[in-house]
A = this chain, B = another copy of it.
Amino acid sequence: MQTGLELMKEMSITSPAKIVLLVIDGLGGLPHDSSCKTELESASTPNMDKLASLGNCGLLQTVGTGITPGSAPGHLGLFGYDPLVFTIGRGVLEALGMDFDLKPGDIAARGNFCTLDEKGLISDRRAGRISTENCKKLCRLLDGMEIDGVRVIVQAVKEHRLVAIFRGEGLCDELSDADPQQLGVLPKQVTALAPGAELTAKVVNQFLTQARLRLAAHHPANMVLLRGFSRKPNFPSMAEIYKLKAAAIASYPMYRGLAKVVGMDVLKTGMEIVEEVETLEQDWKSEHNFYFFHVKKTDSYGEDGNFDGRVHKIEEVDALIPRIIALKPDVFAVTGDHSTPAVFKAHTWHPVPALIWGNSVRRDGVGTFGEKAAICGGMGRFDGAGLMLELLAHAGKMKKMGA
């Protein structure tokens, strides 16, 4: 574990004060050609603007300058876990997010149903985004194989996505991906990346061969691609480091999985933001004193290049903020795990606007919540680890250093 977290273990103290961290996935944007305003700047956000005027803004780099974070590094950065030190495989995240009970030796992989053309080349990496129902049916065709004493568990995630768990003795997760992540090529065989992974590679490749046979008649979902072979990591929990009783409210599995890896309780919630708010309201009297509240669609719309969709989703979040504030959190923060500008249709390295509000926050003169306004915010341009420190300090959860 890194020095930063060792220091936090030493400095953090427990208190009932409640923190809410609202993560609007991919919040940072880039200006629209015609308006020269980003998605956040274009949205009508009276509530976030008011909080910005009462609180402190800044521009957050969850991993670091120039680094484009994937979802896991971005969130680990938000939670104060250095993403360069704490790494999680994608397969593990998917499995945890489905409430799958991963055993210590299990190897998890993330999978997609895909379409192979008549030459066996990948023509659609997402098999036309088949329905979740259809995905479940096809997963049942693959689930439960026994290969050389290894049991393969296959579960549907959502649309074309699935997770495969390999359970048996002596397995190793040092495997290359079987998903080439491009079109017009053959699916790959996995290869062992370390001595001791050869057996696992052989089992996975046999599974892929079997899968192809069993799916042959199920065009467009006539093959699976696996990637991110990994084993559950053993990170120190937010309880150990920050002495927090943390809970996660997230409608998408990966974010629930990530929350579990850092030891959060995952609350059952619905797919809509308003349902997530209801979940928060219902849990508010519990002993949880840190809530990670995740909004996904801003990122998805960014990946789709849907500028207006992002604007509307941000407005939907903003309109619900008074209900969060009505609960009287001691500290409330809004930010994202990275930028997903619609013009880029992808995650980017641009820093994300952040705001923090609470009784002890020193106002900074910023009157609106947006990328440009945040430049002159009191938190400046800061790296991931700084966010948890600010939250804890303003919640009275940090002791004085020295006499």
Contacts and interface: CB of A to CB of B under 8 A. Distances in A.
Interface of A: 3, 7, 11, 30-31, 36, 38, 59, 63-74, 83-84, 87-88, 90, 93, 110, 228, 344, 346-350, 360, 362-365, 371-372, 375-382, 385-386, 388-390, 392-393, 398-403
B363 A401 contact: no
Contact of A67 (B38, B344, B401): B401
B402 A87 contact: yes
Ranked nearest first, the 4 interchain pairs of A and B with the lowest CB-CB distance are: A66-B389, A70-B402, A380-B381, A66-B393
Contacts of A90: 402-403
A362 B365 CA distance: 22
Given A84-B7, A376-B376, A401 B73 contact: yes
A59 B372 contact: no
Nearest to A85: B3
Given A31-B362, A70-B401, A389 B350 contact: no
A350 B362 contact: yes
B380 A378 contact: no
22 contacts: A7-B84, A31-B363, A64-B389, A65-B389, A66-B390, A67-B389, A67-B393, A67-B398, A67-B401, A68-B401, A69-B401, A70-B401, A71-B402, A83-B401, A88-B402, A90-B402, A347-B400, A348-B393, A349-B393, A350-B360, A362-B371, A375-B376
Given A66-B386, A346-B400, A348-B393, 11 more contacts: A30-B360, A59-B380, A66-B389, A66-B390, A67-B398, A67-B401, A70-B401, A70-B403, A93-B403, A349-B398, A375-B380
Contacts of A31: 362-363
Nearest to A393: B66
What is the count of identical protomers in the complex?
2
A68 B360 CA distance: 13
Interface of A is mostly: loop
A256 to B, nearest CB: 16
Contacts of A400: 68-70, 346-347
A349 B391 CA distance: 12
B377 A65 contact: no
Nearest to A365: B372
A372 B363 contact: yes
A378 B375 contact: yes
Contacts of A348: 360, 393
Contacts of A84: 3, 7
Nearest to A373: B365
A392 B63 CA distance: 16
Centre residue among A380, A382, A392, A402 by max chain B CB count within 10 A? A402
Contacts of A67: 11, 389, 393, 398, 401
A57 to B, nearest CB: 10
A63 B375 contact: no
Contacts of A382: 65, 381
Nearest to A84: B7
A71 B403 contact: yes
Nearest to A12: B66
A36 to B, nearest CB: 8
Contacts of A65: 382, 385-386, 389-390, 393
Contacts of A402: 69-74, 83, 87-88, 90
A11 B349 CA distance: 12
A99 B377 CA distance: 45
A399 B59 contact: no
Nearest to A347: B400
Contacts of A346: 400
